[in-house]
Amino acid sequence: MSVVISVSTTIDAAPAVTWAALEDIATHTRWMKDAVAIRFTGAQRTGTGTEFECVTRVGPFRLTDVMSVTAWEPGRTMGVDHRGAVRGSGRFSVHDAGGGRTAFAWDETLVFPWWLGGRLGERVARPVLTGIWRGNVARLKALVEGG
């Protein structure tokens, strides 16, 4: 079993401007409330094959999420695999919404280990993570629109 979470928004900035904020993985902690720190595990910082650890905190839970970039289409898509305690995959998508605006979507499919409640943990986490990630997307929107 897995939990699927999808959040999206329209950003009042061109897709290239939105992508510029996304492609700089090191700065994701500026808009992701649950991301405490990002540490690259190699020299690569962008593109497919980039690997990093993201210290993640949700309430009393603190985990190190081991991640690798699996898809990288500049200006359009960034996909990642989660290989830490919580496993799965995620994807940021950027599309032209017309009028100099961006349609942004964030989709995740996650599997929780037994010690985080397994299927029950996934059910409990879904609304919590959806709320956190809606806030993250709102912060990304504010960051990009604010320049």
> Taking the domains of the chain in order of start, what are their residue ranges?
3-145
Length of the chain, in residues:
147
Structure tokens at 9: 């928004």
Residue 103 pairs with which residues in a beta bridge? 10, 95
pLDDT score of 38 more than 90:
yes
pTM listed for this prediction: 0.94
Over residues 112-141, the pLDDT tens digits come to: 999 889 999 899 999 999 999 999 999 999
Spatial separation of the C-alpha atoms in residues 87 and 82, rounded to whole Å = 5
Mean pLDDT for all residues in the chain: 96
CB 94 within 8 A of CB 83: no
Band the pLDDT of 1: cuts 50, 70, 90. Answer: confident
For the segment 65-93, the average pLDDT, to the nearest whole number, is: 97
Spatial separation of the C-alpha atoms in residues 68 and 84, rounded to whole Å = 11
Structure tokens at 31: 């808009």
The CATH class of 3-145 is alpha beta
